[in-house]
Amino acid sequence: MRLPLDETAFTFDERPVAIGQVVLAAVSWGAWARLLRRLELGVVAIARLEQAGQELADEDLRPQLIAWRRARRLLAAEDYNAWLTARELTLEDMSAYLRRTTAAERLGDDPNGLGAAAPPDPDGAASAAFPEAIVSGELRSWAERLARQAAGARALAARGLDADEANQNGVEALLSKARADPRSGLGEIPAERLAAWAADELAREHAWERLAREVADENRIGLCVRSHHLDWQWLAWDEATFAREDVALEAAMWVRDEGVALTAIAERAASPASAGEAYGWDAGELLALLVGTPPGELVGPVSTGQGWRLLHLRERVLPTSADQQIRARAIEELLEDALAPHLAGRVEWHAAL
């Protein structure tokens, strides 16, 4: 399967952007190469499992399929089938994607599983490239990123600033990269049109880079980080879940009064325990439980569907712009603020991606 690259993916300010431009942008960002590598590793993983006599049955794929459908709210069979039909995909395309994903996950931690494998059949990988991009959601993600780039160019122009135009060497380098991989289909686009697409993409990238420099100066980054002093903290904790409340209360006493590690108490009680660490934006519901807790303190027992949960906060670090992940998050938020008036209502989707 290969998508019609001349077909309009979306319009921005009523200007059409073709599917081929989305793919070319993904080539420029390295996203196309990463998708192909994952696809190839999935094909290799299937072959490795088959060699080991561990062929995947339909029931092995079911958890992946259920999670995929839930994430897209396609629980009804008619909605699921309509989604595939709108994208000219088949149940076989979906099954192949699920097989690759499941096989790669099974061998992902095996140091001898994927690295030494022979390359897969290139024709097979080529035919699966676009189904992989669509089913995984990456094609849509690429298109959304491209729309954001277009909004970035508009935001920069609204500030009375211009981005550097793409130089010919940069255009030629991107064209060479696009034509080197026949699986993208970009080599079949007329040369003049492909060159115009490449020049437009590089100009958008330059505009995005300059906008980032303009909106993300040190003062703005510092103000942004300070405004998130609670929800951007870094947290490290231990947790355990006990079947009975009285056991959880006794475990809490041993931790508080005797200084015994929560994980050690859980091990003695044959209860599940784990250690975690995350920035606030990735901590989910734990953020509300832990954000006001002093390091070294316990939270709980908290009743859950699985039992009685105890949390022991080991460490909490306030956000600072010296932390590169915090800094990147701040720049991302500043860019979002700058883009908002230039993005909302300007994108109209045409293709089912």
Chain length of the chain: 353
Question: Is 78 exposed, middle or buried, given 0-12, 13-18 or 19+ CB atoms closer than 10 A?
Answer: exposed
Nearest to 103, CA basis, from 44, 53, 37, 62 = 44
Contacts of 18 (CB under 8 A, 6+ apart): 5, 6, 7, 8, 9, 197
> Count of CB atoms within 10 A of residue 230's CB?
12
What is the H or E stretch that residue 240 is in?
A: strand 234-242
Q: Are residues 47 and 96 in the same domain?
A: yes
User: Looking at the predicted structure, is the pLDDT value of residue 123 above 90?
Assistant: no
Tens of pLDDT, residue by residue over 226-260, are 999 999 999 999 989 998 898 999 888 998 888 88
Boundary of a domain, candidates 161, 185, 213: 213
Q: Are 69 and 111 in contact (CB under 8 A)?
A: no
Claim to verify: residue 194 and residue 295 sit in the same structural domain: no
The reply to whether 130 and 246 lie within a common domain is no
Is 343 domain-assigned? Answer: no
Kindly state whether residues 252 and 199 are assigned to the same domain. Answer: no
Using CA atoms, how far apart are residues 66 and 153, in angstroms rounded to an integer?
A: 39
**Residues 204 and 239 placed together within one structural domain of the fold:** no
Query: In terms of domains, do 82 and 134 share one?
Result: yes
**Residue 125 pLDDT greater than 70, yes or no:** no
Supply the pLDDT for residue 58. Answer: 86
352 found inside a domain:
no
- Is residue 151 domain-resident? yes
Average pLDDT, the chain: 88
Average pLDDT over residues 34-41: 91
Would residue 347 count as lying in a domain?
Answer: no
CA gap 182, 193 in Å, rounded: 17
Note down the domain range covering 72.
Answer: 8-213
Terminal-residue alpha carbon distance, the chain: 14
255 and 133, same structural domain?
A: no
CATH of the domain at 264: 3.10.50.40
Strand pairing partners for 16?
11
Last residue in a domain, options 149, 178, 213: 213
Contacts with 181 (C-beta within 8 Å, 6 or more apart), sequence order: 27, 32, 33, 36
Closest CA to 239 of 264, 263, 269, 206: 263
Q: Tens digit of pLDDT for each residue in 64-117?
A: 999 999 999 999 999 999 999 999 999 999 999 999 999 988 887 554 545 544
Report yes or no on 353 lying in a domain.
Answer: no
- The bridge status of strand 8-12 relative to strand 347-349 is antiparallel
**pLDDT value at position 116?**
47
Say what angle helices 324-343 and 138-158 make with each other, to 10 degrees.
70
Pair 244, 304 in one domain: yes
Question: Tell me, what's the pLDDT at 189?
Answer: 93
In terms of domains, do 190 and 153 share one? yes
Contact at 8 Å (CB) between 266 and 295? no
- The pLDDT of residue 263 is 87
Is residue 16 domain-shared with residue 150, that is, in the same domain? yes
pLDDT value for 204: 92
206 and 252 inside one domain: no
Question: How many structural domains compose the chain?
Answer: 2
Q: How far is CA 140 from CA 37, 40, 274, 352, in A?
A: 19, 21, 35, 9
Q: What is the pLDDT of residues 184-214, one digit of tens each?
A: 899 999 999 999 999 999 999 999 999 988 8
Does the residue 63 lie in any domain?
yes
What would the pLDDT profile of 295-353 be if each residue is shown by its tens digit?
988 888 888 888 999 999 999 999 999 999 999 999 999 998 999 999 888 999 998 88
Work out the pLDDT band at 55, boundaries 50, 70, 90: confident
3-state secondary structure of 324: helix
Using CA atoms, how far apart are residues 28 and 16, in angstroms rounded to an integer?
Answer: 20
Instruction: Give the pLDDT score at 121.
Output: 54
Same domain, 129 and 176: yes
DSSP code of residue 304: E
Query: Structure pTM?
Result: 0.80
Task: Please count the other Cβ atoms lying within 10 Å of the Cβ belonging to residue 174.
Answer: 24
